[in-house]
Amino acid sequence: MLSGFFRGAWAPELSLIDLALSPLGVADALPTVAQRLKGTAVSIVAGIRDHAQATGLRDLWEPLTEALADLEATGQDVIVDGGRLGLPGYPEPLLNAADLTLMVTRSPLPALAAGRTWSATVRRPDSGWRNPAALLVGEGQPYKAADVAKVIGLPVLGVLPDDPAAAAVYYRGAHAPSRFESGMYVRSLVALTEVIQAAIARSRSQLVEQVTR
């Protein structure tokens, strides 16, 4: 995000490393490490700059999971970019504890084969994701969402169009193409946001019902 969407023009002074090393403890240090994006109500905790730092964050994930859960009382939503699954030091506790965790995939066979190997792991009742689902990029290339869900064993919660020019605005800071804000890609992102919010609300409602029975 920093090198892509922000084109390297904005670099937060603090990051996950500072959060892990803070003498204040994770919960108390989190507000100081989260940097507000100018002109918005959004704050970001910057990730690591070097993959070698990832293994040093393993002891951070559990207390960070608890600190982020406490933010619900303030009405804050948290989005975690977990990166590639299975890399050393990846934030497994955060993904397991999330109200909703989406595995991003495409529909060609190599992508589905990789997704299928992970779906059994993330659906484990003992240590898997609380509410797992998939986000499909490029439906119909060549398989539809229903086929993808059947193969990988996860429901496809949403679909994004395969639009490299529009996606490049976010992942590498490219200039927005003509009619970007009203285009299919942005409209799909807005629709996906609504679907995610509805799925989380539904999941929480079902949890409350189970607890009160």
Indicate the domain borders of the chain: 1-97
Query: Looking at residues 137-161, what average pLDDT do you find?
Result: 97
Confidence of residue 6 (pLDDT cuts 50, 70, 90): confident
Please state, in angstroms and rounded to a whole number, the distance separating the CA atoms of residues 191 and 158: 9
CA distances from 38 to 2, 16, 184 (A): 14, 20, 27
pLDDT at 213 > cutoff 70: no
Centre a 10 Å sphere on the Cβ of residue 136 and count the other Cβ atoms it contains: 27
pLDDT in tens, 62-99: 999 999 999 988 889 999 999 889 888 889 999 999 99
pLDDT at 143 > cutoff 70: yes
pLDDT at 13 > cutoff 90: no
Please state, in angstroms and rounded to a whole number, the distance separating the CA atoms of residues 43 and 75: 14
pLDDT in tens, 36-59: 888 888 999 988 877 788 888 999
pLDDT in tens, 101-136: 999 999 999 999 999 999 989 988 887 899 999 999
User: So what's the pLDDT on residue 89?
Assistant: 85
Confidence of residue 4 (pLDDT cuts 50, 70, 90): confident
What does pLDDT average to over the chain? 90
User: So what's the pLDDT on residue 211?
Assistant: 64
CA distances from 134 to 30, 64, 188 (A): 29, 24, 15
Q: Look up residue 197 and give its two tokens.
A: 């919010």
pLDDT at 210 > cutoff 70: no
